[in-house]
A and B are shown apart, each in its own frame.
Chain A
Amino acid sequence: MEFPDDLKYSREHEWVLVEGNVATVGISSFAEEQLGDVVFVELPTVGDTVAKDDAMGVIESVKAVSDVYAPLSGTVTEVNDDLPDNTELVNDDPYGDGWMVKIEIADLSELEDLMEPGEYQHFVAESDD
């Protein structure tokens, strides 16, 4: 299980890549491993406004279903259109082709609430199944 260095992480197991004021969001390798084979992904619509910690999507495996939460507030500028028809990307490449949503960040100070890779690794180690 890897947690790339250049990303930040939320308590809901999303990763965030910050480039200027745009955040790319997906779910971490811990989350995809917990879920198992992903069979369905529901993404927000481009143009939607999301608030931090809002449920903005749904991800389903054969045996579980989970909300995907917005790690930051902002506006959805792009969603990964390849994902709904190729849900295995979430398992095979969670940090790359398995990305889900791009958000234009409304409040950069919210980044401080996210975890650094080392912090997230600890967090995961302590997580109950």
Chain B
Amino acid sequence: MVSPGQTLLELLRDELGLTGAKKGCDGGECGACVVLINGQPVNSCLVLACDLDGDAVVTIEGLAGEDSRVIMESFVEAGAVQCGFCSPGMVLAAKALLDEKPDPTPEDVAGALVGHLCRCTGYLRTVEAVRLAARSLAGRRGRGVAAKRGCADCREI
């Protein structure tokens, strides 16, 4: 049972114990609450829980599979994770971007992450992390390693 004003973010954190999505600004400006809804990155603080009906929601906890592991490891390797508060949102946005554009330019990456604030890294490492992930994923595919894309790579809640 959800209340009319309860957001998806509150449902995830308070009812389901999925605390990967963070309440930063509660106004759609910081990106710390981003989740994937039907494969698209969305601010969960701007979605009412009762608005969802048959939609597929993926949080950072739900990213499974090799592709997602590569993306998360790329963030660590590039030094794009410090306090980690913005990281779940950033990783999910990166996942959505790479699902659509396997070979993004730096401008594509910056555009995809424009809705994500980070107080720690200065953003350059984050852009490099996404491009590193893109190269790694392309390399794996080039070696014939099976890689599932899109929602097959995610556990839906």
Q: Do these two chains really belong together in a complex?
A: no
Q: Which residues of A contact B (CB under 8 A)?
A: none
Question: Using a CB–CB distance below 8 Å, which chain B residues touch chain A?
Answer: none
